[in-house]
Each structure stands twice: as structure tokens, then as C-alpha cells.
Amino acid sequence: MNRISVSYNGKPCYEIVFHDRFAGLAGFIRDLGFAGRRIAIITDSTVIGLYEREIREELSQISDRVCTFSFPAGEDSKHLGTIEQIYSFLIGEHFDRHDLVIALGGGVTGDIAGFAAASYLRGVSFVQVPTTVLAQCDSSVGGKTGVDFSGYKNMVGAFKMPALVWINTQVLKTLDERQFIAGFGEVLKYGLIRDVSFFDWLIEHREKLLARDAELLSEMIRRCCEIKRDVVEQDPEEKGLRAILNFGHTIGHAVEKYLRFNRMHGECVALGMRAALDISCRRGLISRDDDERISKTIEDFGLPVRESGLDKDEILTLMRSDKKMDGDNISFILLDPPGNARIMRDVTADELLYGIEQICLS
């Protein structure tokens, strides 16, 4: 077991604990002051059959008031209606602001449970127990929560730091192949925006990572969490630097909506990164060799770099409704060079259309 400490506004806030089992989680939650309190496990219809019983038994060591709320798995559940159902559930279970919510699942579960915790009774504590590559490497860390609204990704939400993030890397064995691969969209992002040596390490160990080598996956996840921790600590509420974490997301979110969420988030991030690479190259910020090498790496990890049936003008229109808009400008992330991301506010519509064209399969 090892851990990373995360600070908020200069003060220790929570720990990310890395383990190969759930045993021990109850002790950490007890030490946070929740022994004997009501604990709600929020999970989805897939994960409930895999890990809910084990988590419940673990928590029974410190509380006899553990309950579970489950919602249908998938992005289709990520809306305010699910949040209302959680509110009703917590009210029915007589939860007060001294009780605890646990998010058990992938990124969708973490976002939903986190937003419910942030807004129920103006805020109750919650713990992240992520079960996917994407959630363990990215979404469980940093305090962003939220749901989609009118088809727009994460349009309604709140910043809510977890009380603890518990990462059991063994659960990745049960992920289906597509979901496992999709998580690498976020993983590759971290090397590209902040640590090119990590990106090279991913290339070097690609085959073993894709074969789910436990030791290498643990090392990979820890490095992603370290990079995100370092960025978030400097800018917890995304007023500046934290925006670099959106590399690949501006176009990616628009593609995700255009495809009606039939592509996984990490897959759409990969498409968005591919488009951003071409814009970076066109501006002379990265070389054509870098562009081609990185694009090939994205493909080698099994992620898409082109998509059929895209309407570039419609995707540009969807981008203008993104929450990353700054007045009439889109805050866009480019590489300058690989391993260093820059926030650009002067990317033109023509440049964006050019980037989108590069991911369109005719």
C-alpha cells in the first residue's frame, strides 16, 4: 500500500491510497471520523454485482448503517433525474450532513455521486472508489463533479473534493476490453501535456500495459495521479493552469455529443487530441515527425484517430456551447512542444475546422 497526499489551497485535503484489495478501506474511513455513521454506496448496475457486496462487508466493520443506491450503467444516466433519485434515497435513509457517500464505479458514477454529495444538504462528505482506468487515472482525482444537461457534457456541476480516493488496481481485471482501452485516452494525455518522458515510458511498456500487467498498471496510474495532483494543487477551480487537463477535450466533447455518446469518453478524447496535434503542427509548435509519432502511438494503443460520419461544421457549432467558452472565445489547449501544454485563446474557427477535418473519415 502506498499513498499520495493532495492539498487544497495550501492545506492537506485528502489522500489517494493505492492498494490491490479493498481490505483496509474501513480503517481509513474510520480514521476520517465516519465510524457508526450512515454510509451510502452509490454504484451502477454493472459494478453492483462485482464489488458492492465486498465493499459493504468491509464497511460493516465500522457501521451497521450501510445502504446502496444503484442506477443503470452508462452515460444515459448522467443527468439531473438520477441526482433527484439519489436525493430521495438519501432523504428516505435519513442522511444528515455528518454522514458519508461512497462513489463505487467509473467516471460516470464518480461524477454523479460527487455532485449529489456536493449539493445534498449543501454538502456531505464523499469517498471515491474508482473501478476503471479512466476513473483511477483521471476523474476520481481533483474534485470535479457534475452531470450532462440537454446533451451537453458536464454542463451542470460543482467542485467537491473527496475525503479519500481508494484505488484498487486489481479491479481492472474485470473491465471489458473496449472500456479498458478507452481509459488510455486520458493516460496518454498526461504524458503529452506535462511529462514527455512518461509518454515515452508508455510507448516502451505498451504491450505489457495492454496485457494488464499489474505492476506496470499501478506505476502508470500513480504517475497520472501525481501529474493531476500537481496541476490541481496550483489551480483547484480551473481559473488558469488546470485548463491544460482539457487537452483533447474541447473537440472531443463535441464529437461525443455529435455521436450521441455512442463513443466512449476516452475514445473521443483521443480524437480530440489527434485534431489538436494537427493544429499544433500547423502553427509550428510541434514538428510533423512529432505529430505523426504521437498519432501512431494513439492508434497503437487501440484508440481511434479518425471517425466516419462527422459533420465538421456541426461539431464546431457544438464546441461554441461548451463550458470552456470564454466570452466569444474558445479556450483551447495545444502542445508547445510535446510534454508542455499551452492554453490558447486565439485559435480561429478556420484552424478548428482544419483540425476537425483531419479526424473525419470520408
Residues 182 and 160 in one domain: no
Catalytic residue among 58, 75, 233, 238: 238
In whole angstroms, give the CA distance from residue 345 to residue 326: 8
Q: How many domains does the structure of the chain reveal? A: 2
> For residue 18, which of 220, 233, 231, 266 has the smallest C-alpha distance?
220
Catalytic residue among 153, 189, 194, 253: 253
> For residue 223, which of 138, 325, 105, 302 has the smallest C-alpha distance?
138
Catalytic residue among 144, 222, 223, 274: 144
Give the DSSP H/E element, type plus range, for residue 19: strand 11-19
Percentages of the chain per state (helix, strand, coil), in multiples of 5: 50, 20, 30
Using left for φ > 0, alpha for ψ between -120 and 50, and beta otherwise, residue 62 falls in: alpha
Catalytic residue among 160, 222, 223, 242: 242
Residues 207 and 82 in one domain: no
Using left for φ > 0, alpha for ψ between -120 and 50, and beta otherwise, residue 18 falls in: beta
- Which pLDDT score is estimated for 330? 82
CATH number at residue 278: 1.20.1090.10
Encode pLDDT of 123-147 as tens digits.
Answer: 999 999 999 999 999 999 999 999 9
Say whether 249 is catalytic: yes
Residues 206 and 220 in one domain: yes
Residues 228 and 165 in one domain: no
Q: How far apart are the first and last CA of the chain?
A: 49
Say whether 228 is catalytic: yes
Catalytic residue among 265, 267, 274, 307: 265
Catalytic residue among 9, 11, 94, 122: 122
Say whether 246 is catalytic: yes
Encode pLDDT of 224-245 as tens digits.
Answer: 999 999 999 999 999 999 999 9
Mean pLDDT across the chain? 96
All cell numbers assigned to 129: 472508489
DSSP label at residue 170: G
Q: Indicate the pTM of the whole model.
A: 0.95
Residues 31 and 166 in one domain: yes
Question: In which band, very low, low, confident or very high, does the pLDDT at 323 lie, cut at 50, 70 and 90?
Answer: low
Of 121, 143, 174, the residue that ends a domain is 174
Residues 210 and 327 in one domain: yes
Say whether 98 is catalytic: no
pLDDT more than 90, % of the chain:
94
Encode pLDDT of 45-67 as tens digits.
Answer: 999 999 999 999 999 999 999 99
Residues 158 and 297 in one domain: no
Residues ≥6 apart with Cβ < 8 Å to 350: none
Q: Is it the case that residue 320 has pLDDT exceeding 90?
A: no
Say whether 238 is catalytic: yes
Of 117, 142, 174, the residue that ends a domain is 174
State the average pLDDT over residues 344-357: 95
Residues 163 and 307 in one domain: no
Residues 184 and 319 in one domain: yes
Of 135, 153, 174, the residue that ends a domain is 174
Catalytic residue among 58, 75, 186, 307: 186
Say whether 144 is catalytic: yes
Residues 142 and 241 in one domain: no
Say whether 265 is catalytic: yes
Q: Provide the residue range defining the domain that includes 261.
A: 177-361
Q: For residue 59, give Cα distances in angstroms to 30, 65, 183, 238.
A: 9, 9, 28, 34
Encode pLDDT of 70-81 as tens digits.
Answer: 999 999 999 999
State the average pLDDT over residues 250-268: 96
Question: In which band, very low, low, confident or very high, does the pLDDT at 9 lie, cut at 50, 70 and 90?
Answer: confident
Residues 146 and 15 in one domain: yes
In whole angstroms, give the CA distance from residue 269 to residue 359: 12
Q: Is it the case that residue 280 has pLDDT exceeding 90?
A: yes
In whole angstroms, give the CA distance from residue 57 to residue 64: 10
Q: Is it the case that residue 343 has pLDDT exceeding 70?
A: yes
Catalytic residue among 160, 194, 223, 228: 228
State the average pLDDT over residues 312-341: 84
CATH number at residue 37: 3.40.50.1970
- Which pLDDT score is estimated for 290? 97
Encode pLDDT of 148-187 as tens digits.
Answer: 998 888 999 999 999 999 999 999 999 999 999 999 999 9
All cell numbers assigned to 154: 458536464
Catalytic residue among 19, 37, 153, 249: 249
Say whether 253 is catalytic: yes
State the average pLDDT over residues 95-108: 98
Residues 257 and 287 in one domain: yes
